[in-house]
């Protein structure tokens, strides 16, 4: 049996083959993504400004712009209140850089992950007020902070919320709330990242003074946050990320150049995968291991000395994060392995660092294909991070028990919460029962949607360059996946720490390919030839050279 559920997508009808002048394989990939209209197809491939929405269509935008212009004209002190992940850090940097360009008197505030937690908190808002702040603009947070906004308003603080998370039933009484997911939103695209919403507010401000072209220097921050937060790379996000990648490669800011130098990354080849695997984990490491303000300062510094120092600090924190995660994950796996036949995995320990519980939950979900919760238990308050699978909406599940939480929020497949420790047993029992009911009888293996069955000889020529016309790839627009049957295995071995990965040399009809299977090392014994393989086509950059190879996602011995 394959390790995943292979879902070979239906072949393209002949009637759709003449929509555009593409080879059949590329037409099949486009058809699989629902791109069957020529106009739609053109805008998708171009990923240009036609995908950009008018910012004034966002709810609360007029009120937000009016209040910010009043603050700018009167010299009020403005605080940008962000979040400690990459989306929050880039959103904070984006808003501060934009308002500074407009001569704003602006400071940044990002809460400490471990001592303050996610979202607005009363102590921080009071401290900002005592520093002379009269207007607080949230980025990537605030939509669930009802009591904190109420209290801040009573204390005389004005609040503008910009967020992209799902709003609760009662919206905080801020001076303006800008969120594309609000029920009354007329905005044509609801899946902006937190940094994307912040950017749209700046776009409205700069449009008001006829200087929208100055926003181009912020495109890199928008791309970083959008990809890191795993937002779908469809609609406007395609345009925002493509513009950002262009800037990251043609004229990267000092922070990016120094991060790449410190980590040994190749310059000039940054794509969405580079952000996901290399840049975002390092920016996230700041908030996970110490304080996210270090990552924020790195993004905005124009001092080569400070950039070098902060990038080295991030590199150190990321290495520390990797060591601690490996140790904690080993303990978590031992815990969940003892939980026989559970539809949801729960790992809890008083020693789990709050900064990495999301990583623990994510790795458990990846390995066991179950909703997973990792919890740092405390004497009075416990903090949990959740990751889920498409078959189980975790934020919907948490919402049914919202009265148990002091804070909670997130998306359908990633969420977090804090609650009184005494409420933890009740929550665990309720969620386990819910998962058992909803997931019972389902084939709980990850689904691999396969774009086409091909021969390895079909992967040569200009196939890769044609596929890249559909980039950037990521959530919502995955890299094309192919199936090749009865492939000969010329050589195979493990690689990486503890033989975690597979390296193979594969052959079919005289076509020989180097291949790698990440996290497939445990299946070394299943590799006798021939194999049916499922894979992506990717460009391997190593030692200044570029070579095409196959990224093996799954395989099974051929029948």
- Classify 503 as helix, strand or coil: strand
Q: What is the pLDDT of residue 284?
A: 92
Residue 30 has pLDDT above 80, yes or no: yes
On average, the pLDDT of the chain sits at: 92
Residue 134 has pLDDT above 80, yes or no: yes
Q: Which range, 189-198, 509-518, 546-555, has the best average confidence (pLDDT)?
A: 189-198
Show the DSSP H helices in 251-356 as ranges: 254-263, 272-274, 280-289, 293-300, 304-337
pLDDT tens-digit map of 323-346: 999 999 999 999 998 877 789 999
**pTM of the predicted protein model:** 0.89
SS3 content of the chain, % helix, strand, coil (to 5): 45, 20, 30
Confirm whether 324 is domain-assigned: no
CATH number at residue 550: 2.40.50.460
- For residues 18 and 143, which has the higher predicted lDDT (pLDDT)? 143
Confirm whether 350 is domain-assigned: yes
Mean pLDDT of 167-171: 91
179 with 213, same domain? yes
Q: What is the pLDDT of residue 35?
A: 84
Q: How do 5-8 and 447-450 pair as beta strands?
A: parallel
Mean pLDDT of 106-110: 97
128 with 193, same domain? yes
Mean pLDDT of 270-274: 91
Number of structural domains in the chain: 4
Q: Which long-range contacts (CB under 8 A, 24 or more apart) does 524-530 make?
A: 524/492, 524/493, 524/494, 524/499, 526/555, 526/556, 526/557, 527/489, 527/492, 527/502, 527/555, 528/489, 528/557, 529/487, 529/488, 529/489, 529/558, 530/486, 530/487, 530/488, 530/489, 530/557, 530/558
387 contacts 364 by C-beta, under 8 angstroms: yes
63 with 188, same domain? yes
pLDDT tens-digit map of 371-408: 999 999 999 999 999 999 999 999 999 999 999 998 88
Confirm whether 166 is domain-assigned: yes
Q: Which long-range contacts (CB under 8 A, 24 or more apart) does 495-501 make?
A: 495/521, 496/521, 499/524
- Classify 393 as helix, strand or coil: coil
Q: What is the pLDDT of residue 400?
A: 93
Share of the chain above pLDDT 70, in %: 99
Last residue of a domain, one of 233, 250, 267: 250
Q: How far apart, in whole angstroms, are the C-alpha atoms of residue 120 and residue 117?
A: 9
470 with 550, same domain? yes
Confirm whether 331 is domain-assigned: no
Residue 309 domain boundaries: 252-317
Confirm whether 332 is domain-assigned: no
Q: What is the pLDDT of residue 209?
A: 92
> For 281, which DSSP code?
H
68 with 159, same domain? yes
Q: How far apart, in whole angstroms, are the C-alpha atoms of residue 515 and residue 501?
A: 11
Q: How do 372-376 and 381-387 pair as beta strands?
A: antiparallel
143 with 272, same domain? no
66 with 143, same domain? yes
239 with 351, same domain? no
pLDDT tens-digit map of 192-242: 999 999 999 999 999 999 998 899 999 999 999 999 998 999 999 999 999
- With a CB cutoff of 8 Å and minimum separation 6, the contacts of 96 are 80, 106, 107, 108, 300
Confirm whether 326 is domain-assigned: no
CATH number at residue 73: 3.90.1640.30
Q: What is the pLDDT of residue 543?
A: 66
60 with 19, same domain? no
Confirm whether 329 is domain-assigned: no
Q: What is the pLDDT of residue 505?
A: 94
Residue 18 has pLDDT above 80, yes or no: no
Q: What is the pLDDT of residue 544?
A: 67
CATH number at residue 413: 3.10.310.30
- For residues 35 and 173, which has the higher predicted lDDT (pLDDT)? 173
Q: What is the 3-state secondary structure (H, E, C) of 66-132?
A: HHHHHHHHHCCEEEEECCCCHHHHHHHHHHHHHHHHCCCEEEEECCCCCCCCCCCCHHHHHHHHHCC
Residue 187 has pLDDT above 70, yes or no: yes
């Amino acid at each position: 049996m394959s390790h995943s559920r292979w879902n070979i997508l239906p072949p393209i009808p002949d009637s759709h083959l003449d929509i555009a002048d593409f080879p059949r394989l590329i037409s099949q990939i486009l058809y699989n993504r629902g791109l069957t209209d020529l106009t739609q197809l053109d805008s998708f491939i171009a990923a240009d400004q036609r995908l950009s929405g008018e910012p004034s269509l966002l709810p609360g935008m007029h009120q937000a712009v009016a209040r910010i212009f009043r603050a700018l004209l009167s010299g009020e002190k403005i605080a940008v209140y962000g979040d400690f992940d990459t989306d929050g850090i880039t959103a904070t940097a984006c808003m501060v850089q934009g308002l500074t360009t407009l001569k704003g008197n602006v400071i940044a505030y990002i809460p400490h992950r471990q001592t303050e937690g996610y979202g607005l908190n009363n102590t921080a808002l009071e401290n900002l007020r005592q520093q002379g702040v009269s207007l607080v603009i949230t980025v990537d947070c605030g939509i669930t902070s009802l009591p904190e906004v109420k209290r801040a308003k009573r204390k005389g603080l004005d609040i503008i919320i910009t967020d992209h998370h799902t709003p609760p039933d009662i919206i905080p009484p801020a001076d303006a709330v800008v969120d594309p997911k609000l029920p009354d939103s007329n905005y044509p695209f609801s899946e902006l990242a937190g940094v994307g919403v912040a950017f749209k507010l700046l776009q409205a401000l700069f449009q008001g003074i006829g200087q929208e072209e100055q926003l181009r220097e912020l495109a890199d921050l928008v791309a970083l946050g959008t990809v890191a937060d795993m937002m779908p790379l469809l609609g406007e996000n395609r345009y925002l990320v493509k513009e950002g990648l262009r800037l990251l490669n043609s004229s990267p800011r000092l922070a990016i150049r120094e991060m790449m130098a410190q980590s040994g990354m190749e310059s000039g080849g940054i794509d969405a995968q580079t952000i996901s695997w290399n840049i975002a984990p390092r920016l996230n490491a700041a908030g996970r291991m110490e304080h996210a303000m270090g990552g924020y300062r790195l993004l905005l510094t124009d001092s080569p000395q400070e950039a070098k120092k902060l990038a080295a600090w991030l590199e150190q924190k990321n290495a520390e994060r990797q060591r601690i995660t490996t140790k904690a994950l080993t303990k978590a796996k031992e815990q969940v392995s003892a939980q026989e036949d559970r539809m949801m995995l729960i790992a809890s320990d008083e020693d789990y660092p709050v900064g990495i519980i999301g990583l623990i939950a994510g790795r458990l979900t990846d390995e066991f294909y179950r909703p997973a919760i990792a919890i740092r238990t405390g004497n009075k308050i416990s903090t949990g991070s959740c990751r889920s699978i498409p078959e189980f909406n975790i934020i919907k599940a948490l919402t049914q028990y919202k009265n148990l939480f002091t804070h909670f929020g997130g998306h359908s497949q990633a969420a977090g919460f804090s609650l009184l420790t005494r409420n933890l047993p009740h929550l665990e029992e309720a969620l386990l029962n819910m998962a058992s009911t909803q997931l019972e009888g389902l084939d709980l293996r990850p689904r691999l949607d396969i774009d086409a069955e091909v021969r390895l000889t079909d992967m040569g020529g200009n196939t890769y360059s044609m596929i890249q016309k559909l980039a950037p790839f990521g959530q919502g627009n995955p890299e094309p996946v192919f199936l090749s049957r009865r492939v000969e295995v010329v050589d195979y071995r493990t690689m990486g720490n503890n033989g975690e990965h597979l390296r193979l040399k594969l052959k079919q009809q005289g076509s020989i390919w180097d291949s790698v299977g990440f996290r497939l090392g445990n299946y070394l014994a299943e590799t006798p030839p021939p194999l049916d393989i499922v894979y992506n086509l990717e460009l391997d950059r190593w030692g200044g050279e570029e070579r095409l190879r196959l990224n093996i996602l799954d395989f099974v011995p051929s029948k």
